[in-house]
Chain A
Amino acid sequence: KNQVEQSPQSLIILEGKNCTLQCNYTVSPFSNLRWYKQDTGRGPVSLTIMTFSENTKSNGRYTATLDADTKQSSLHITASQLSDSASYICVVSANDMRFGAGTRLTVKP
Chain B
Amino acid sequence: DAKTTQPPSMDCAEGRAANLPCNHSTISGNEYVYWYRQIHSQGPQYIIHGLKNNETNEMASLIITEDRKSSTLILPHATLRDTAVYYCIVYSTDSSYKLIFGSGTRLLVRP
Interaction A to B: no
